Amino acid sequence: MEYSVVVLCVQEIVKVIVNTGQQFTEQQYVTVLSLSHRSEYGSTDAELESRLAKLNAILTADPASTQTPASHTNGLP
């Protein structure tokens, strides 16, 4: 796993997955999110569970369903 994904915040990790597709295994993403969660002061187990559920939903979603209509045409009418 590249270290570049480790330095991203949770929101950035999710954006990278949505924009560029899955580059690592789900377990690798879970590990990174768990480490990120542990380093955040005041974060709760409920927040981690929510993030992991969102990650799972993104990774198991149909790639076409995560794109907006504009992305299918590269923003052209």
Exposure on the CB side of residue 50, measured as CA atoms within 13 A:
8
Looking at residue 4, what is its pLDDT?
66
76/66: higher pLDDT: 66
- Per-residue model confidence as pLDDT tens digits over 39-69: 888 889 999 999 999 999 999 885 654 444 4
Looking at residue 3, what is its pLDDT?
61
Residue 77 has pLDDT above 50, yes or no: no
Assess contact for 58 and 18: CB atoms under 8 A: yes
Query: Domain ranges in the chain?
Result: 24-61
Looking at residue 30, what is its pLDDT?
92
